[in-house]
Structure 1
Amino acid sequence: MKLKAIFFTSVFLAIASADILQNPDFELPPSSWKENYTSPLFPLDANSSTIPGWTFEGAVDYATVGADLSLPLKGHAILLGQDGKINQSFTAKGDRVKYLLTFTLAIVGQNCKSNASLVVSAPDSSRQFSFSGKYGKELWEVYGLQIGSWGDGDSINLVLQSQAIDGDTNSTCWPVVDNLFLSTIGTLNQDKANLLPNGGFEFGPSFLESSNEGVLVDSQPSLIESALQQWTVMGTVKYIDSKSYFVPEGKSAVELVSGISAGVQTAIQLFKESSYDLEFMLGDANDSCTGDFTVGVLAGSTGQNFTIQSDGTGSAKKFSFVFKVSEPSPTIISFQSYTTKQRDDGVFCGPVIDAVVLHSSHGHISRLNGASLIALLLVALLKMVELP
């Protein structure tokens, strides 16, 4: 059990892979498209049209975005109407890695009573996304998800399709997709200075150059399947980068945006009857989100609330506390928002969590039992064997 605990901790490295998908921004036009076409939406016919890199079914339009189409995107995109579907196949290369997808979602329609959702699927996975309009000032949103894990030679079919919410398709607003980016995540050894894999939230879905709104990550209860590597997601969180937001440490962090109960959680195997120090930073994203932020932090059976006062201009404070592991099962560590906040423009926002560091308290090694000491010696011997 102890030996398993030592090998359990690992961290994942994001490796951007811009060439996995063909025509991911749809700037290569369909074969039947006419540049002098005046309407912002160009209907595609499966019998006479092809989209470079993609196949399609159902009602699909090639969208020219800009002034004529009320979306602040650039260039071109794809609108998926009733039963609309596009898909692209690619071959996994190298060792078994995880694939993360980032994409832009918008909604187009007039006098519509409901918004169709977008379903993104791949072998053994399927996620549904609905445009909310609550978490940014733009008429589009960027989402991130993990679509699966595959090894060398596996054939993957990525599918995006519309799904109407009700039967009245004439009053439905349909999804527009653009700027897809697929990246891979490989496995590396854990940082010795931090027992928590990805405690700084540096490894997650890629940020798009075309957006400064961050990446929304919807609820995902699985550590293995989450886009935020080694963290499950409760509610909706915004993955933010230091180019567009205030990030307390490093290049990225997590903003808890969907109000009360939004949060992130991880689990790690720790030594029973041992004490650990948990450190983290709590702040605001410099996005005009003001007021008191309260976050509940749970580490095993120890819970504590922390509050900061934000003026919305970008600041953070470091907190820490000590907890003791009383059970041998994996220890849960979670951060949950107890606050719902909206900016003056109605956008939902919240506290930023970053730089989560876990390490054992002094004297931890002396309290290990004989089996644990043997396990540590085995790890040391294995490392010596790896030396040249």
Structure 2
Amino acid sequence: MAVRIALFLSLVLLFTSSTFAATYFEGLLPNGDFEQGPKPDQLKKTVIQGRYSLPKWKINGLVEYISSGPQPGGMYFAVTRGVHAVRLGNEASISQSIPVKPGSLYALTFGASRTCAQDEVLRVIVPPLKGDLPLQTLYSSNGGDTYAWGFRAFSKFANITFHNVGVQEDPACGPLLDAVAIKEFFPPLPTTENLVRNGGFEEGPHRLLNSSNGILLPPKQEDLTSPLPGWIIESLKAVKFIDKKHFNVPFGSAAVELVAGRESAIGQIIRTVPNKIYNLTFSVGDARNGCHGKMMVEAFAGKDNLRVPFFSRGLGRFKTVSFKFKAVSARTRITFFSSFYHSKIDEFGILCGPILDQVRVFPTS
């Protein structure tokens, strides 16, 4: 009997261990905040010496280990999440392999910002997928922009790489990376009451500590790998994912902010019945973040559209609107964007815009 119990416990332990090893639900990557640094003899001033000198990461090229504050040469780097970060020089990269579930959808969340005046690009690679994030546009006054990037796992391990593709005059110039986290999604499905997947934006990327500026969803993200499940970021600029803790959110715990006018568009393709009439309802407002002025959100569904004016005084108000559209095919694209460009009243030059929440599509009775 004792042997059977011991065997049973061994099997339970084996199953639990293998399940844990294959699952990485949500949180920072190992040493994802870079607070575990190289040993003193593995640093030449700020440059890391040795491919495996940064714990849990593999480095390639000129990678610097940065502490928040004044830097040699008169520069100042603000590390908004913790004390330490890494800076990627010309053609430099860092990478890490983590266990994942084949077929599952994941999103990386990471703090990234440019450190020089030049146009800098951060490439994110999870084979066979890759994407380039332009860092020239600043969306926060302290440089602490946070991005999310989605991918679907094709094997039991994902090799995550951050690569500086640029070649600047100063080889030390390059993106600053100060935290990396991951989240596994459980993709929402349409229902009979709402044909829109994730219409309330409740399923979204991991929120890093001190992510008070929201999370930027990069442009040109397809719905199959989007860091905002169900939605396509189909514009040239980012859309911002915001939470109730730091912003005014009309419903639930999250919404999106259309921060770059017509260059900041979000959409989704839904299943419809040709010639059937549907209702599209959604809420627009302001995030109570200093964004003010005359706003306009434009909504498109198939061949129909609606313009929704909204005057923001930065008080966190919103309104809900609706319109009917006729489906012309078995697939209908719904799209939303802001008609105008806006900046914050106390931070001129920092882009902001109206928020969108609680998107619903349902057939008329």
**TM band (smaller chain):** 0.7 to 0.9
Which residue does the alignment assign to 1:365?
none
Match of 1:71 in 2: 78
* Alignment partners' CA distance in 1, 2:272 and 2:60: 50
Distance 1:162 1:244, change over 3 A: same
CA contact (8 A) 1:133 1:139 kept: no
Cα distance change on mapping 1:106 and 1:33 into 2, 3 Å? farther
**What is the one-letter code of the residue matched to 2:139?**
Y
Q: What one-letter code is carried by the residue in structure 1 that aligns with 2:35?
A: E
Output the CA distance in 2 between the equivalents of 1:210 and 1:349. Answer: 19
* Contact in 1 for aligned 2:26/2:206 (Cα 8 Å): no
In the alignment, is residue 97 of structure 1 matched against residue 99 of structure 2?
A: no
Q: 1:271–1:133: structure 2 CA closer, same or farther, 3 Å change rule?
A: closer
Number of aligned residue pairs: give it: 333
With over 3 angstroms needed to count, the CA separation of the structure-2 counterparts of 1:191 and 1:16, relative to structure 1, is: farther
Q: Partner of 1:306: helix, strand, or coil?
A: strand
CA contact (8 A) 1:87 1:158 kept: yes
- CA distance in structure 1 between the partners assigned to 2:141 and 2:150 by the alignment: 25
- With over 3 angstroms needed to count, the CA separation of the structure-2 counterparts of 1:356 and 1:188, relative to structure 1, is closer
Equivalent pairs: percent with the same residue?
28
5 Å-filtered alignment, 1:171-250, equals 173-187=173-187, 189-233=189-233, 234=235, 235-250=237-252
Question: After the TM superposition, which segments of 4 or more aligned residues of structure 1 sit over 3 Å from their partners?
Answer: 31-34, 66-69, 187-192
The one-letter code matched in structure 1 to 2:136 is S
The one-letter amino acid of 1:71's match is A
CA contact (8 A) 2:120 2:136 kept: no
In the alignment, the residues of structure 2 paired with residue 243 and residue 105 of structure 1 have an alpha-carbon distance, to the nearest angstrom, of 21
Q: In 2, Cα distance between the equivalents of 1:314 and 1:187? A: 29
Normalising to structure 1: TM-score of the pair?
Answer: 0.80
Aligned counterpart, 2:3: none
| Match status 1:340 vs 2:349 | no
Within-5 A mapping of 1:132-171: 132-150=136-154, 154-166=156-168, 168-170=169-171
Structure 1 distance, partners of 2:334, 2:34, is 41
Alignment of 1:49-68 (within 5 A): 50-66=53-69
Aligned position for 1:270: 272
Report Cα offsets for 1:5-34 as digits up to 9, x if no partner: xxxxxxxxxx95226x31111111113468
Give the letter for the 1:160 counterpart.
F
Q: Distance in 1 between matches of 2:221 and 2:107?
A: 16
Separation of aligned partners in 2, 1:33 and 1:353: 51
Task: Quickly say closer, same or farther: Cα 1:334–1:87, change in 2 above 3 A.
Answer: same
Q: CA deviation at 1:342?
A: 1.5
Q: For 1:72 and 1:240, locate their aligned partners in 2 and report how far apart those are by CA, in whole Å.
A: 21
Structure 1 residue 261 displacement after superposition: 3.7
1:83 equivalent in alignment to 2:91: yes
Match of 1:371 in 2: none
Question: 3-state DSSP class of the match of 2:130?
Answer: strand
Amino acid in structure 2 at the alignment position of 1:342 = S
Amino acid at match of 2:332: T
Residue 18 of structure 1 corresponds to 27
Contact 1:131 1:141 in 2 (8 A): no
Separation of aligned partners in 2, 1:292 and 1:188: 34
Distance 1:340 1:189 in 2: 33
Summarize the Cα distance change of 1:191–1:267 in structure 2 as closer, same or farther, 3 Å threshold: same
Cα 1:72–1:51 change in 2 (3 A) is closer
Change (3 A) 1:25 1:33: farther
On the 8 A contact 1:117/1:165 being kept in 2, the answer is no
CA-atom RMSD, angstroms? 2.2
Distance 2:269 2:338 in 1: 18
What corresponds to 2:354 in structure 1? 351
Q: Deviations over 1:32-52 (max 9, x none)?
A: 468xx9x9x6211126x6111
Which deviations, in whole Å up to 9, do the C-alpha atoms of 1:163-221 show, x marking residues without a partner? 2255x245x73111011011111245444431211011111211111220000112125
Amino acid at match of 2:57: W
Return the letter of the residue paired with 1:25.
Answer: D
Q: Following the alignment from structure 1 to structure 2, what is the Cα–Cα distance between the partners of residues 178 and 108? A: 12
1:72 Cα shift?
4.2
* CA distance in 2: counterparts of 1:187 and 1:262, whole angstroms: 23
SS in 1 for 2:173: strand
Q: Distance in 1 between matches of 2:324 and 2:25?
A: 37
1:360 aligns with 2:360: no
1:314-329 correspondence runs (5 A): 314-325=316-327, 327-329=328-330
Read off the aligned partner of 1:186 and give its amino acid letter. Answer: F
Q: Distance in 2 between matches of 1:261 and 1:213?
A: 19
Q: 1:360 to 1:341 in 2, by over 3 A?
A: same
Instruction: Return 5+ residue gaps in structure 2 as ranges.
Output: 1-23
